[in-house]
Structure 1
Amino acid sequence: MDETDPKTLLITLTGKDRPGVTAAVFSRLAAAGVEVLDIEQIVLRGRLVLGVLVSAPRDWKRLRDAVTETASALGMQVEVDRGVGDNKVRAVGRSHVTVIGSPLRAAAMAAIAGRIADCGANIDRIERMARYPVTAIDLHVSGVEPVELRRVLATEAAAQGVDIAVQPANLLRRGMRLIVMDVDSTLVQGEVIEMLAAHAGAEAEVARITEAAMRGELDFEESLRHRVALLEGLPASALDEVYDALVLAPGARTMVRTLRRLGYRFALVSGGFSQITDRLAADLSIDFARANELEIVDGRLTGGIVGPVVDRAGKASALREFAAAVGVPQAAVIAIGDGANDLDMLDAAGLGIAYNAKPMVRDAADTAVNVPYLDAIVYLLGISREEVEAADAEVGIITPAPPL
């Protein structure tokens, strides 16, 4: 065995976690007077893995034996590797790859890891962001440009039935950002115009036109004016009834509440109606809202719209306007939508997220989230479920314990 003096030692301990393990190891290292170069520690289901890279003392064998003795006393296993270099951060191509599954199967992770390796990239670190109601894992990847990695993994995500987001590993992910959201079938479940149409006895016809418009088969403005015309004569009080019947997407309040704590700003940009979106914005403490205004005369809908229609181009224009008002670049904007009229908005944002979207929107967006939980968005931003629940608990919001 090569007994030449090494420059570094990598000490890896594994075993049952308990208080005092890390302190005991570092007490031994302190006695040897070594320099700590790197540390990684995780606890997985009560099992501790502790890796410490230190400078090698002159009598490195004595330190090896002392650490081995300490590990034995703790009932743990230890490996001491000589001459291991420090972690080298690759100069280019650093990304955060967030994988969300419900469930997340080993076969999916194998396929994803394989595609990353095929690109010549390396997984430097893995962190769990959530285990319930979805499993979310964050991979720190280096060695390939994010754009190329996103292209490769988008195909694999579809094949494996999981959601994958690839974002550059830069300061932008940690800064204050603007979230711009669609409303119908994104922030709220269902379509407001169809709920109104149910009061007017025209739900089936409106639903048919809406579906075609969201698939991009019809011009949005033309389809909207056609649908609104079917609401002529409806009492304005129906708007109150529809608002009271709205159901937010699961996790919507949690997402907004969590990100507002971090200074994020929010905007609603909708092809729906301001009589609804303005109230939603007030209820959720949303900073901006832009939508179409239904014309109301003598307490009834006329079947018309006041002013220009907020269409596909109008949504993107509103995003740029709100970003300027907040004072953030478009690269710091996250847009969330599901329909064809959201495409320009998703493209204008630094990160465009297709949320339970139509196929053509999923294909065009930076990433897709297909689980029915809007707060899954926070995992893409490096925020764990444990952090969300801890912040909520401080203000008396208690989340039910997940199943074992």
Structure 2
Amino acid sequence: MSTSADAEQYTGLILLSGVDKPGITASLFEVLSPFSITIVDIEQVVIKDRLILTVLITLNPAHEDAIAADLETCSASLDVDIASLFSYADKSMLNIKTNLVRISLSSVKLLPKAIEELAEVIHQNGANIESVTRLASNPVTTIEFVISGAKKEALNQSLSPIASSNGAEITVQ
């Protein structure tokens, strides 16, 4: 017999933001290391000099208060903001995504309209953007979108007009 405890896992979502400097990521994980936790997902991005780091962990609910207190101390010592959200989540929502499609958008002058149109096509195809990353910036800006839930063939057809109307190159992998 399955119980709700079998279908759910206690998670912590940690969001760190602030001015980037060496050692922030190492310090955050040093704080988390003494605890019996598992890292489920992690994303880090630096734009200009601003850092955003998100970490999803699974943990024993009894450790929540201690982890939250240590994160607060870490936040003060690093002079960054750290927010956390602890809750039960359906285990199926924590699974690693498969069948991901990568879309690269490249242009000498990347305009918001190109990204809006690309995002709309992704949405119309029932897909979801999982991550966005800048791969290059000079002389051509290249942005990579990793998406889930779409068919590569359908995307190729839908994205072709966007490339030509925005003076961009779009590749789907």
Scaled by the length of structure 1, what TM-score is found? Answer: 0.38
Counterparts in 2 of 1:242-261, with a 5 A limit?
A: none
Structure 2 residue aligned with 1:50 = 53
Structure 1 residue aligned with 2:29 = 26
Structure 1 residue aligned with 2:3 = none
Aligned length: 161
Q: Distance in 1 between matches of 2:9 and 2:65?
A: 10
Q: Distance in 2 between matches of 1:25 and 1:10?
A: 13
Match of 2:137 among 113, 119, 131: 131
Counterparts in 2 of 1:225-240, with a 5 A limit?
A: none
How big is each residue's C-alpha offset from its partner over 1:307-331, in whole Å with a ceiling of 9 and x where there is no partner? xxxxxxxxxxxxxxxxxxxxxxxxx
* Runs of 4+ more than 6 Å apart: none
Structure 2 residue aligned with 1:89 = 97
Higher helix share: 1
Q: Distance in 2 between matches of 1:113 and 1:128?
A: 16
Tell me the SS of whatever aligns to 2:160.
helix
Compute the displacement of 1:40 (Å).
1.6
Structure 2 residue aligned with 1:73 = 77
Q: Say what the alpha-carbon RMSD is for the aligned residues.
A: 1.9
Compute the displacement of 1:113 (Å).
1.0
Counterparts in 2 of 1:1-400, with a 5 A limit?
A: 7-57=10-60, 58-83=62-87, 85-86=93-94, 88-90=96-98, 92=99, 94-167=100-173
Q: Distance in 2 between matches of 1:108 and 1:50?
A: 27
Contact kept, 8 Å, 1:53 with 1:86, in 2: the verdict is no
Q: Distance in 2 between matches of 1:97 and 1:87?
A: 22
How big is each residue's C-alpha offset from its partner over 1:273-317, in whole Å with a ceiling of 9 and x where there is no partner? xxxxxxxxxxxxxxxxxxxxxxxxxxxxxxxxxxxxxxxxxxxxx
Larger radius of gyration: 1
Q: Distance in 1 between matches of 2:65 and 2:78?
A: 20
Unaligned runs of 5+ in 1: 168-404
Compute the displacement of 1:118 (Å).
1.3
Structure 2 residue aligned with 1:282 = none
Q: Distance in 2 between matches of 1:38 and 1:59?
A: 19
Compute the displacement of 1:65 (Å).
2.3
Compute the displacement of 1:39 (Å).
1.8
Q: Distance in 1 between matches of 2:32 and 2:167?
A: 46
How big is each residue's C-alpha offset from its partner over 1:220-265, in whole Å with a ceiling of 9 and x where there is no partner? xxxxxxxxxxxxxxxxxxxxxxxxxxxxxxxxxxxxxxxxxxxxxx
Structure 2 residue aligned with 1:262 = none
Change (3 A) 1:87 1:46: farther
Compute the displacement of 1:87 (Å).
5.1
Percent identity (aligned): 29
Q: Distance in 2 between matches of 1:40 and 1:46?
A: 16
Scaled by the length of structure 2, what TM-score is found? Answer: 0.84
Tell me the SS of whatever aligns to 1:7.
strand
Compute the displacement of 1:6 (Å).
6.3
Compute the displacement of 1:38 (Å).
2.1
Q: Distance in 2 between matches of 1:38 and 1:7?
A: 14
Compute the displacement of 1:31 (Å).
2.2
Tell me the SS of whatever aligns to 1:31.
coil
